[in-house]
Structure formats: structure tokens, C-alpha cells
Amino acid sequence: MGGCMSDSQDTTDRNVEREIEKDKKQDTRAHKLLLLGAGGSGKSTFFKQLKAIHGEGHNDREKEGFKRQIHGQVVESIQLLIRQCKTVTKDPLPGIKDEDDEPFGNDDLDDARLSNSLKVEMTETEIAQFKIAKEFDQSCQYLLEIHGSRSALTEQLVTHVKSLWNECPAIQAMFEHRNKIGIPDSSAFFFNDIERIGRSDYTPDHKDIVLARYRTTGMTEKEFHIKDAVFKVLDVGGQRNERKKWIHFFDGVTAVLFVVSLTCYDEVPFEDVTDLAADVTLMNSMLESIKVFEDTLDFECFQKTGFILFFNKADLMQEKIKRVPITNAFPNYKGPQEFKPSVDYISKYFLSLNRVPEREMLLRFFFEYVLFVNYW
């Protein structure tokens, strides 16, 4: 009997070894692509687009997760807009005080990143534009008392968000400073469509999923079959506290996909969000992307690895450049305040950071709803 058990165990061991060998061979045939970039660059959006176009799409469980993320983004964004308005105008948050009668005393509302004091020196006229009228006190109080950014959008919550967004000039005025206070551009899309996304039968469509913003933590891996090739894409978090984990995924990389947001040259990184007086020429997400890209190029294991630079949000850049010059991040730029020459300068600047001439560097431009195209 003992011999039978031994034979059975040997057979099991051999089967396991064969499966391991099979997995190793399959893994060597797959092209391992590492998706990197600074926080807020749009890496996860890129990953979602890959899955929608070259994967099996998003199943019902994943769509339910995106629904929660979208609802959370709406709640977090409107709460932040209210807090910033109340703090700048030095009004206490309605109904929420601590023992010293100071705003932000409630721990559930005191997010370390989002509710830093915004005490800035402004004229009375400048302050007045952020003054929320008394008629909106009930909506402000209701929204600020919601605990947790994953709250579902109830009918009452939708009513209050719609009222503040559509009828309160102070909220709109503060939203114009979203680049300094950490509010995603796409929040306006969800605010404008609040009734649809607040319905009980709401299911996110492709555009909703692409526009949903959240911070990636850890690592997400997905295999894609494109024609006869197999690509294994690894998406890792881009925030500063996530980057120390990157090195664990560097082995056997075929190419690095590095994503840069073209619109981030006047946006404060979320780790540095402080106040409306932040100097975006000293700290902005484009400078952060440049630093991260330089550091990534310098890794010894990437000296012979090809890089594909994806410049994201090109369509949004076409509009932004009309209002905001790239000199916030590139003070030496002397060209016209136009899309093509500005983007041409940015792309050449990034390419100039490569100190290894034989390393292949490709450029691609990523529009909001098109996966990747070469713009020129």
C-alpha cells in the first residue's frame, strides 16, 4: 500500500512540474510591458482602454466597482469645493465644529491631503467670489455630513449636488482653481450628468469608465492577445509612496510604457496640495513626470530596454494651451502659445533626457477616447 501511495505522489509531483514548465514557456513567449508614470498621468485610463479594445471588456462586477468609484469621485469633489470655499472666506463649516470651534475638527472630514488650511492673502473682492450664499447652507451641511467617499448617490444627494453645481457661483469659481486643489477635470462631466449617474439602474458606459479617476495602489496585471502576439501589461501605482515598489516588477521587461499627461504643466501633484497661492512654476505635475522619467531611464536594468512615451490627454491640451502657456514647466520655451509647437517642444524635451543613444524611444499621443495614435 505504501508503494501505491508513493507512485500516486510521484505522478502528482510530475504533473505539477509539467504545469510549472508549461507556465514558464508561456511566460517567456509573452511580451512583458511595464506601465509607468507619475501620479495623475492617466496610466489607469490607458489600462482601461487596453482592456476595452484588446481585452474582453469590463464585466458586470467591474462595472459595479466603477459605479462606486464615480459616485465616490462626485462626493469627494463636491465636499472639497465646499470646504475650500468656506475656508477661504473664513466661514465655519455649517454644523461641524470641534471643541475649539474651529473648522475641520471632525476627523471624518479632515482628510490629510484634501483639507489642509487654505489661508491665502487675497483682496476682499477676490475673497467674495468664493462666498457661498446662505441659501445653499442646507445643501452644504447635508453633503459635508456624508461620511466616506464611497456613498451611493441617493435622490436627495443628487438634488443637493445639482443645486450647488448649477446655481452656486462660488462653487464654479473654486472649480476654476481645480489644478491647485486636486480636483479631476472629469468631475465636471459627472456633475453635469448627475441625474443619469444617480439613477438606481445606472450602469457606467465606456466613456464613464474612461473618465473615472482613482489612485492606483499595488499592481494590476492583464494579458492581452493582439493578432499573434501576447502582451502582459503590468500597471503599478504612480504616487510617490507607490514608486518604491516598482523595482519588484522590473525583471524580464520587454518595454516600458511611460505615460505623461500633457495638461499637467500647471497642476499641483496631490501630495503637494496646499492652497490657492501655490506657485505652479515651482511645483507642478509635469516637473514631477520629468523627474520620474529621468529616474526610470537611469535604472541599470533598463539600459537596453525600449521605451514608448505616451503623451496623454492631447485633446484636452488643445483647449488648455489657449489659456495657459507651457512656460509654467518649461520657462525656456519661446514658441507660440499653440498646440503643435508646444507639444513638439515637450516631446523633444523628454527625448533629450535619454542618454543611451542605442535605446529605442517611440512617441505616441493618446486622446481621451482613442487608444493610441501617432499625431504627426
Residues annotated within a binding site for Mg(2+): 44, 216
Q: Are 267 and 280 in contact (CB under 8 A)?
A: yes
Annotated binding site: 44, 185-186, 216, 235-239, 312-315
Alpha helices in 212-333 (DSSP H): 240-243, 285-298, 314-320
Cell of 54: 484588446
CA dist 300 and 163 (Å) reads 55
Task: Give the number of C-alpha atoms closer than 13 A to the C-alpha of residue 86, restricted to the C-beta side.
Answer: 24
Give the number of other Cβ atoms within 10 Å of residue 116's Cβ.
17
First-residue to last-residue Cα distance in the chain: 74
From the list 84, 126, 129, 76, the residue with the least C-alpha distance to 103 is 84
Strand-pair partners of 370: 367
DSSP letter at 328 equals G
DSSP letter at 194 equals H
Q: How many helices (H) and strands (E) does the chain have?
A: 15, 7
CA dist 347 and 14 (Å) reads 53
